[in-house]
Structure 1
């Protein structure tokens, strides 16, 4: 890690997130099993963890975490994401660095990576100093986190320090009450991982459902169908973005009506009926589900949801949205079924305009979704919007300022909505096709668009 990187990181990838577990100690890592509580700096598994659990080099019977590669960005991020507040963070540290600039760093980050506050390290300038004493040192820190965060472990790499010189053990994070005592965490966000046996797709389909705190089966709740992005699972779209936790917070503040959020398994299908029988296509390293995915969503998922949960089945209380491929699916499905949804969100939507084929699978997807002019006329949102009934629907189109082609397509689509006299809004902001744009503030805005009070 370079010194200039210690004060701030910028998030570049769509990320995972979570809230409190319902227990007194929120995170405990004894290094006695595996690295399942941790993930690399991009938050999607694409960056490996440059460390491993090993036997204590000083001979005790405990296991410890050792950073084992001298590389830039050897971050360990906790998969769990914790609310802003006061905490006790305790851990053991063993440093054996031969150089002054070598050693470990521990802190909290809003993202993978994101806004980062470093709590302790071996160099000057940290609130607490870690000692490279060649002996285990125990630390108890009080953390006053101003934002929702992941715990971050790091090591210096620009110095002459030898590989294997930084070790952590016995990490524990607990919430504190106002008097400084350890308190029980709040109720965990309610995510349900379920399976729907699809007849049209001839296989079980995973569904993740968020239920608001205090969910009452005797009431009726509006529902948001939240469609995953390309190569994202239903859990990536909902649990890993922390969307349910953000909804809990907004509901508690009186800014969002209690609502249900449903994220379906997508299989890179683009939410379209591409074949009468289910199969799979492969292009380079990407897999694309073929079959009646549109029929599955409309004819199976929605009725199943309304049967399983206390859903307000009126179109006025049924919303659909998503990011990237999910944004395309939301817009296309709403235009093809104009009386089904009342609020439609195309967030950085991959609308696939006629001229765009210059990304890794662009030409393949264009030819696959639009094999001829007749098929395109009933699938392309830019053509559908010219004639579809739009009464009763509200749209939100948005994209990052550096998401150049998708930004242009979103503006073009918004212009068509304006010509049709539709209810819509368009917005943009700093960022590209990444989590710097799809940050927590923007996810909160998305939620308020659908169910804001």
Structure 2
């Protein structure tokens, strides 16, 4: 596999930004390739997945481009006051990738996933843009972030109110509310996992129950582990296998 950092000007952010990308370098791997947009957490950036996991080795031989964008501390959301990180990913990054690489510019060729803030972002964007993504996964996602105590949320993310407004529960960035408005036949394939010692475990259990109560097909698993890279490096491998099945990838 090959690795590159793409520097670009984001029209949505009105500033320079960057993303890392892993892509096949073996001429025997057939084109066009599929894409996997992989999102980082609140305290990290676009370099972290490649630095802290063996991701490049895990996707070796697959007809897959892994795109790791920089979401800042913006929760992959067009802030009420601030940067438009949702538009940056779904318009600027996705558009540049599909103009630059020989990838499938269609729903059936796109997956999205992430951890923590990025797990929330992947589920939120995967549901909100369900005509764009076919396969979605979340590790240790802050999936019920908009439904918990705002005062506690501001301790974790001081940007909370500036990004989401004062009453985000049930609004356009709430994965629970977004799912209610989608025809079940168009919901992407969903996989959610979390460590049993993770401080976000209840977020994941609540969303899992919400999906079960509405008979939405999905994969949900809990494993021993905490909110750390030992857990994510291990379980990203299962997410890759999940997306490979849904995008019908063959080594």
1:302 aligns with 2:107: no
Unpaired segments ≥5 residues, structure 1: 1-188, 252-256, 277-289
1:361 aligns with 2:173: no
| SS of the residue 1:301 aligns to | helix
1:409 aligns with 2:213: no
Find the partner of 1:246 among 58, 68, 75: 58
| Counterpart residue number, 2:69 | 264
TM-score if structure 2 supplies the norm length? Answer: 0.87
TM-score if structure 1 supplies the norm length? Answer: 0.50
1:438 aligns with 2:232: yes
Written as runs of structure 1 = structure 2, the 5 A alignment for 1:372-383 is: 372-373=166-167, 377-383=171-177
Structure 1, residues 67-86: CA drift from partner, whole Å, max 9, x if none?
xxxxxxxxxxxxxxxxxxxx
1:426 aligns with 2:220: yes
TM-superposed deviation, 1:415: 1.8
Contact 2:21 2:66 in 1 (8 A): yes
Tell me, in whole angstroms, the C-alpha distance in 1 between the residues paired with 2:100 and 2:140: 31
Contact 2:110 2:133 in 1 (8 A): yes
- Is the alpha carbon distance of 1:390 and 1:209 closer, same or farther for their aligned partners in structure 2, counting shifts above 3 Å? farther
Tell me, in whole angstroms, the C-alpha distance in 2 between the residues paired with 1:201 and 1:221: 28
TM-superposed deviation, 1:363: 6.5
Tell me, in whole angstroms, the C-alpha distance in 1 between the residues paired with 2:140 and 2:22: 23
Unpaired segments ≥5 residues, structure 2: none
TM-superposed deviation, 1:218: 7.5
TM-superposed deviation, 1:419: 2.8
Tell me, in whole angstroms, the C-alpha distance in 1 between the residues paired with 2:71 and 2:168: 25
TM-superposed deviation, 1:240: 3.5
Contact 2:110 2:135 in 1 (8 A): yes
| Counterpart residue number, 2:165 | 371
Q: Flag the structure with more relative contact order, 1 or 2, with Cα contacts below 8 A and sequence separation at least 6.
A: 2
Tell me, in whole angstroms, the C-alpha distance in 2 between the residues paired with 1:374 and 1:450: 30
| Counterpart residue number, 1:397 | 192
- Is the alpha carbon distance of 1:230 and 1:378 closer, same or farther for their aligned partners in structure 2, counting shifts above 3 Å? same
Contact 2:168 2:174 in 1 (8 A): no
| Counterpart residue number, 1:319 | 111
Higher fraction of strand = 1
Aligned residues: 243
